[in-house]
Structure 1
Amino acid sequence: MEDDQQGQADDIHVVNILPLAEELREQLAINHSSEEQLGGGSPSCPITIAEVGRLTRNVDAAMYDPHHISIGPYHLLRNPDLVRDAEKIRSLEAILSAASGGTVLEEYVDELERLEGDARRCYAHSFPEITSRVFVRMLLLDGCYLLAQFGTIGGGGRRSHAGADMANGHVEGGTLLAPAAPSGDRLETLAVVRDVFYLAENQIPLFILDKILQINVSDPSAHAADWILWFVQAILQTYSVASLPSPRPGNLLHLLHMHLQPTNPPSSDTAGDTTGGKKLGRWRTATEYYFVGVTLKPRPLDGAVGTVRSVLDVHLDSGGGTLEIPPLIIDAETWRLLHNLMALEQRNPGPAAAGSHVTAYCVFMSQLACTAADVDLLSSKGIIAHALGNNGEVASRFADLCKGILFSLDDPRGNYLRGTCQALEERFQSRARRWMAWLGRKYFDNPWLFIGLLAAAVGLACTVVQAVYAVLSDK
């Protein structure tokens, strides 16, 4: 009887193994197929558009979500109320009205249908729940909306009141606004710029805009980035004075990111270790560096080749005594832009993709200015300028800036400021330098104390000389 029961148990065991193996084999096949469909990193799609990681989003989800309009598939599903279909249809009409003679709607649809597979491969998800018809329609309407708003194409949309004259506008809150726009339109323009340029998830591949533009102007060599570039430069004029480098950007946020590169980052083979093999724990605060005698100076953007071209161009002099930092002008949108640029880098690491330069800079600033005293010091030096409530609020924002971000301070390939951090740490650990810095601040910052110290030193010297002469005279 026991043998029969054992045999039945073995039979059940054997029967269950085969379906499980088949199930896992099917899942492996599905996974392999998905990896082939997804992609990023291909010539047509250099940047993967991905959702922001949960740990990062949980710090402040509002930094990553659109509030006015959705672009691309992520928020098409998540925030259908922000699709604004009627506005995008009007943009399509404006694009068609401005198209070269004989261009019909079917040409745009046919070309984007051919690019659908490439476009889907630019996302970290394949979106099987979005049909081909809906996906292509989204690409066309979103692409037309972006070109009509920011590509000087057509006469419709928000830019009809100023057209190309918006190039003579001004920047408010980091965003180009038309001088003639009513206040309501100005706020709406700011909301649109924030949503379509700053957000890592709210994007479509830039080659979709290229294709729509090429059909529109009958020029297969036209690139949307060239048409939007003046707008991008206006957005970033307080962050960078660099021109657009190559290769071509993957989306609008990547277009902003490509302007924020350190001018002369050290290569990994020249970033020597000056700390005797010790690991770097963190940056010190601005007040700590000041305590050991480091002079903090602003380093204005000048645009000259090989000099200061973006806020990332932090420089420490050869003696390690003067740290020059380009001024950072902080407004309500600064944090959103920095958070999303880091999210872009987190999903696209490595020099062949987005790299990690912005993340390295944000880690530096988040630790340099993490207390109200640090922000007060940096503000007094002209390195930080803000119009927020108080220095404590700015410090709190800096302290939270890199929460949930993965970054190694000791990686010479990912941290272009590693050598600077090492040199400053060596200075911070030097007892002699700390003592001299304390002596300098205690006595030399106060002219009366300095005069008293000088008089005491002269008196001591005179006493020593007098004693020497007295000894010699006795002989």
Structure 2
Amino acid sequence: MALDDAMIETLTSKIDHKLGALSTNTSYPSCIYRVPDKPRKANEAACTPRLVSIGPLHRQRGQLQGMESYKLRCLRNFLTRITVKLCDLVRSVAKCESIVRGCYEDKINLNQEQFLEVILLDGIFIVEVFLKNFFPRLREESDIIFKNRWMWSDLLHDMLLLENQLPIYVIDNLFNFVDHSFLNRITLHDLAHEFFKDFLLFLHNPPVPLNRKRSSLLFPAMNFQYTRSATELKQAGVKFCHVEDGDFFDVVFINGELRLPILIVNDLTETFFGNIIAFEQCGYCWRDITSYVILMDSLINTPEDVDLLVNHGIIKNELGESEAEVVTETDEFYFAKVCGNLNKYSRDPFHEFKAKWFRWRRMLRRNYFGNPWSFISLLAAFVLLILTVIQTVCSILQVK
């Protein structure tokens, strides 16, 4: 059916209205994303806040509302230590409202008043928590976060989440109201580093390998197999050792020895890596952390693989369990060359035979030499076989 002029004019008006509502701010591209569906379905808990919402994306979650009164107390304490009035803080965040809205991938369905309240209270909350962590004398006697170890752990988890963030310049702007004579040259970076320790530097400045060679040029992802598990590699003669003070990219395979950086596994590791991977999948940066996780996932298929890496000091397991599973994919694999060399080494005829001999010997030890009765049974069967052969030969000779 052909469109008449009235219908064309109506449709044009609707599309024109949508174009007019589209943000024209290109100076600050979206940098706070939703976790993609695939990693979210794999582990919803690793990308969902447990204690506190930061920013507008999880503001309506009922179980997080208990922390809103804590945020108000943070604001009250902040105002008692500075000479600036509350209206000045509101004006400060109002100046960057449109920019902050543009930093979120999702459209924020909050009016101006609601949105400014969120970024003000959440920004002051972060500044106050950083200050209290660095200066214990600022803590109230009944401060629940610093007295309850479980709440502290949940807070660290929530502050690492991809969706639970404020743009850094909002926090930096509010931090400028703090009395600098009180800080004595301590910067926001210093406070944040003390709070997150190793996590913060990695989140905001992930180490990028120097002299990068994109693995997709070396091994096309569609035809490339990663590597065998740690146990299988050991059976083929590969030796393992850990690298002291190395980052995630200090992975080297040379002269039959695979050198890997130390990985500490605790209750925050899954949250940390899960959100970093989700961040990389959004296309904001190279997928180097995804590559590292895929490498470790290739090496770890069973609890025995974890135990092997723990025994060689590569994994420091603070969870008490030897089970680990990470499923992900990428078309840019940084460790393709290392895996290629491992595959070539472990699958040459000599090392393939060595791996099979190792598995056969282990099967014999488990099935026949695990206890003395199994050994006696095997010996008796062997003697019976010899006697049967001798009897058969004698019978043949007698017939002749």
TM-score, with structure 2 as normaliser: 0.77
Q: Are the equivalent residues in 1 in contact too, given 2:214–2:334 (CA < 8 A)?
A: no
Structure 1 residue aligned with 2:106: 125
CA distance in 2, matches of 1:287, 1:256: 30
Give the 3-state SS of the residue equivalent to 2:258 in structure 1.
Answer: strand
CA distance in 2, matches of 1:363, 1:29: 45
CA distance in 2, matches of 1:162, 1:324: 48
| Partner residue of 1:383 out of 308, 314, 334 | 314
1:151, distance to aligned residue in structure 2 (A): 3.2
Letter in 1 for 2:259: E
Structure 1 residue aligned with 2:330: 407
1:292, distance to aligned residue in structure 2 (A): 2.2
| Partner residue of 1:91 out of 68, 74, 77 | 74
| Partner residue of 1:261 out of 180, 198, 207 | 207
Deviates more, 1:23-32 or 1:362-371: 23-32
Q: 1:87 to 1:364 in 2, by over 3 A?
A: same
| Cα deviation code 1:94-143 (max 9, x no counterpart) | 211222xx42222211111011111111100231x201111111111001
Q: Are the equivalent residues in 2 in contact too, given 1:148–1:156 (CA < 8 A)?
A: no
Structure 1 residue aligned with 2:24: 36
Q: Are the equivalent residues in 2 in contact too, given 1:52–1:200 (CA < 8 A)?
A: yes
Give the 3-state SS of the residue equivalent to 2:58 in structure 1.
Answer: helix
**1:226 partnered with 2:190:** yes
Give the 3-state SS of the residue equivalent to 1:92 in structure 2.
Answer: helix
**1:340 partnered with 2:266:** no
Structure 2 residue aligned with 1:3: none
Q: 1:428 to 1:79 in 2, by over 3 A?
A: farther
Q: CA RMSD in A?
A: 3.6
**1:316 partnered with 2:252:** yes
CA distance in 2, matches of 1:416, 1:158: 45
Letter in 1 for 2:79: L
Q: Are the equivalent residues in 2 in contact too, given 1:50–1:201 (CA < 8 A)?
A: yes
Structure 2 residue aligned with 1:139: 119
| Cα deviation code 1:228-270 (max 9, x no counterpart) | 222222x54xxxxxxxxxxxxxxx6xx54245425x4441279
1:17, distance to aligned residue in structure 2 (A): 8.5
CA distance in 2, matches of 1:278, 1:153: 48
Q: Are the equivalent residues in 2 in contact too, given 1:103–1:216 (CA < 8 A)?
A: no
Q: 1:114 to 1:218 in 2, by over 3 A?
A: farther
1:324, distance to aligned residue in structure 2 (A): 1.1
1:422, distance to aligned residue in structure 2 (A): 2.0
Deviates more, 1:51-60 or 1:22-31: 22-31
**Structure 2: unaligned runs, 5 residues or longer:** 362-400
CA distance in 2, matches of 1:117, 1:356: 30
Letter in 1 for 2:281: Q
**1:63 partnered with 2:46:** yes
Matches within 5 A, 1:90-239: 90-99=73-82, 102-127=83-108, 129-152=109-132, 159-160=139-140, 182=147, 185-196=148-159, 198-217=160-179, 224-233=188-197, 236=199
Q: 1:35 to 1:366 in 2, by over 3 A?
A: farther
Q: Are the equivalent residues in 1 in contact too, given 2:227–2:299 (CA < 8 A)?
A: yes
1:78, distance to aligned residue in structure 2 (A): 4.2
> What is the percent sequence identity of the aligned residues?
22
The number of equivalent residue pairs is 358
1:314, distance to aligned residue in structure 2 (A): 3.4
CA distance in 2, matches of 1:345, 1:337: 12
Q: Are the equivalent residues in 2 in contact too, given 1:298–1:325 (CA < 8 A)?
A: yes
TM-score, with structure 1 as normaliser: 0.66
Letter in 1 for 2:95: R
Letter in 2 for 1:383: I
Give the 3-state SS of the residue equivalent to 2:316 in structure 1.
Answer: strand
1:382, distance to aligned residue in structure 2 (A): 2.0
**1:283 partnered with 2:263:** no
Q: Which runs of 4+ in 1 moved over 4 A?
A: 15-18, 78-81, 152-158, 160-163, 269-272, 275-278, 436-443
**1:421 partnered with 2:347:** no
Give the 3-state SS of the residue equivalent to 1:55 in structure 2.
Answer: helix
1:441, distance to aligned residue in structure 2 (A): 9.7
1:53, distance to aligned residue in structure 2 (A): 1.4
Q: 1:423 to 1:213 in 2, by over 3 A?
A: same
Give the 3-state SS of the residue equivalent to 1:283 in structure 2.
Answer: coil
1:22, distance to aligned residue in structure 2 (A): 4.4
CA distance in 1, matches of 2:6, 2:242: 69
Q: Are the equivalent residues in 2 in contact too, given 1:91–1:156 (CA < 8 A)?
A: no
Q: Which has the higher contact order (CA 8 A, sep 6+)?
A: 2
CA distance in 2, matches of 1:53, 1:256: 21
CA distance in 2, matches of 1:110, 1:261: 37
Q: Are the equivalent residues in 2 in contact too, given 1:293–1:437 (CA < 8 A)?
A: yes
CA distance in 2, matches of 1:154, 1:294: 46
| Cα deviation code 1:414-443 (max 9, x no counterpart) | x32222122212223322343466679999
